[in-house]
Structure 1
Amino acid sequence: MEIHCTACKKKYILSPEQAEKLALVPKIPCPACGTLIITQIEKPAFMSKEKLLKQTGALPPMPEILIRAKSIIDSPYSDIRDLADILEKDQAMTARLLKLANSAYYGLRHPVESAHKACLVLGEQTLLQMITLVSTSKLFSNNLDGYDLDAATVFSHALFVALVSRDICKNRFKALENSAFAAGLLHDAGMLVLDSHIKNAKESYKNLRGQGLSQHGAEKELFGFDHAEIGHDFCVNWNVPEDQALAIRWHHEPDRADSNLAHVLYTADILSWQDPDRVPGDDLNEVSFCRVGLSSEELHEIRSRAWQDVAQIVADILIS
């Protein structure tokens, strides 16, 4: 058995006899610094995923305007004017979209002043990505106190994964470009569902992370499922297309799904945590690296551009 001190980072290997003696002792002092080391993980009371989702009342339903926009774009009998018409009925959405359209990120030569003009200038696919971005950004307006993450960090990470996923698909899986952007924005939606439960089990969660478990590994240890699995179920309830929900479910374990999109999300997520000077391919599993089919140099370029775009969008849209 191995235990870790979260304060001084000392690691102690216990013999089976020592571990047996500690079976009934929840905490022991660290021999080096005296900080109490948790030797037993206190798991929260069992709760099914269904009950957990039902009790999570703080999450909004999928915005009606996003549902209608996707319906119009997917319909062969609609045109761009129909999309502009529904946008102009939602003044708050239109105001945010125009702000985004006129931001430095899009770099339009002439500013657009109406939803109709934005539709004509930007095109329906770009506009759908903008509507998705504006709609889902409301999900990330609160801090995740259980995970010790502020709202800006969570949103910036989601936006980075969305941009990188989209750009990978531009190069390798053109038909998945819009799906990749939407799935990237929502890939950590399960953290919004789990946050309050992580907060209630904060000490146990921190101890598991201190023992070297990944975030999703610690979640599985505590609840029996992780944020990717609960995120999939949340997205299904939100009527997110199944290919996107499936990719979200397996974005930490892409080898378990026959999904190019899962490998793309996994790759984008890994790139988001890398040091900017690190070779992108070094931390990717070999299967995903081959499946994505881009060189480390190409991924480095995508990563660098995405971080610049995130900074620009967050500054233009969330701060100003």
Structure 2
Amino acid sequence: MEIHCPACKKKYTLPRGAKTGPAAHLPCPACGNPIPLQQETAPPRFMSKEKLIQEAGALPPMPEILIRAKNIVDSPYSDIRDLAQILEKDQAMTTRLLKLANSAYYGLRHPVDSAHKACLVLGEQTLLQMITLVSTSRLFSNSLDGYDLEAATVFSHVLFVALASREICRLRFKDLEKSAFAAGLLHDAGMLILDQHIRKNKQAYQKLRADGMPQHLAEKKLFGYDHGEIGHDFCLNWNVPPEQALAIHWHHEPDQSQTPLAHVLYVADMLAWQDPDRLPSEDIAGSSMDMINLSDEELEVIRCDVWQDVAQIAADILIS
């Protein structure tokens, strides 16, 4: 067993036969300070990330319609008619898209009654975001029992983060606006994979949370990785752009990332869970406040407006 001195940081091998326990200690040969003989060790990973993701068999692959829609929007050789054609072949998707397009959130002056009209009125990028939104609502269609979260709560949260992230980027990082929406919708995808393992370790997880440990740190304590890291790998499997996946990985620890998108997701996530009676800057890390360069007043406006948007979309359209 390896031991280390908490004073001078030197490491030693515990002598054979030495007694260990809460009160046991040895004097450090270098500095003389006591070295405790019952030291915490990092919990071993109960399985590799790869195996964990493989065993999450209930998770759907990226919807074929979303793959084709992304390819059409990204291709210089496709036009709006190609997008309308693939939508018309998926009646369930078209029905939900038309309901969303005609909702109060989009506020169209004249209702649209076909995929072709929706494409013409809303445009490719808006339609792609709507397809992503509907696909994500299907992804988060079940409760997360390990985390004690209902499906409606989970989806409302990811929708808030997506809309708030997009608004922050509209104000400060215009080139990240489209990426922010998609990354926000998928930022908690790792929870879908970890949930069954949280259920199996629920007592230990709940104790860590009751002791005040944040969710992502409790996950790391139990498994060796958090839902952001798992979500990163899942999103790469969904062919999510690497910059978005990287931001998802570090959305709880954005200083570890080199992308401002991680700070945007973190700020939006904090706004979603924060007590509305508190100022955003009271809970959001200073480095992220500096990065997004928005005042408390601006963030409070975003928080209020986005929750109203979430209510229109989630309650009336996507959550049955």
Counterpart Cα distance in 2 of 1:130 and 1:316 = 15
Counterpart position of 1:271: 271
Q: Work out the number of aligned pairs and report it.
A: 285
Counterpart position of 1:95: 95
Q: Quick one: which amino acid aligns to residue 130 of structure 1? A: M
Counterpart position of 1:260: 260
Counterpart position of 2:111: 111
Q: Quick one: which amino acid aligns to residue 154 of structure 2? A: V
Counterpart Cα distance in 2 of 1:157 and 1:293 = 23
How many Å apart are 1:311 and its aligned residue? 0.7
Q: Quick one: which amino acid aligns to residue 95 of structure 1? A: T
8 Å Cα contact 1:187/1:248 also seen in 2:
yes
How many Å apart are 1:70 and its aligned residue? 1.0
Q: TM-score, normalised by structure 1?
A: 0.86
How many Å apart are 1:284 and its aligned residue? 1.2
Q: How does 1:111-130 map to 2 (within 5 A)?
A: 111-130=111-130
Q: Kindly tell me: are residues 319 and 231 of structure 1, through their superposed partners in 2, closer, same or farther at Cα, counting changes over 3 Å?
A: closer
Counterpart Cα distance in 2 of 1:112 and 1:57 = 38
Counterpart Cα distance in 1 of 2:189 and 2:44 = 21
How many Å apart are 1:105 and its aligned residue? 1.0
Q: How does 1:6-45 map to 2 (within 5 A)?
A: 20=22
Counterpart position of 2:62: 62
Query: What SS does the aligned partner of 1:20 have?
Result: coil
How many Å apart are 1:20 and its aligned residue? 2.3
Q: How does 1:61-210 map to 2 (within 5 A)?
A: 61-210=61-210
- From the CA coordinates, give the structure whose radius of gyration is larger: 2
Q: TM-score, normalised by structure 2?
A: 0.86
8 Å Cα contact 1:104/1:316 also seen in 2:
no
8 Å Cα contact 2:163/2:181 also seen in 1:
yes
Q: Quick one: which amino acid aligns to residue 146 of structure 2? A: G
1:172-229 CA deviation, whole Å, 9 max, x = no partner? 1111111100000000000000000000001111111111111111100000000000
Q: Quick one: which amino acid aligns to residue 278 of structure 2? A: R
How many Å apart are 1:56 and its aligned residue? 0.5
How many Å apart are 1:277 and its aligned residue? 2.5
8 Å Cα contact 1:190/1:230 also seen in 2:
yes
Q: Quick one: which amino acid aligns to residue 290 of structure 2? A: C
Unpaired stretches in structure 2, ≥5 consecutive residues: 1-20, 24-39
Query: What SS does the aligned partner of 2:110 have?
Result: coil
Counterpart Cα distance in 2 of 1:115 and 1:277 = 43
**% identity of equivalent residues:** 74
Counterpart Cα distance in 2 of 1:277 and 1:126 = 33
Unpaired stretches in structure 1, ≥5 consecutive residues: 1-18, 22-39
Counterpart Cα distance in 2 of 1:148 and 1:184 = 21
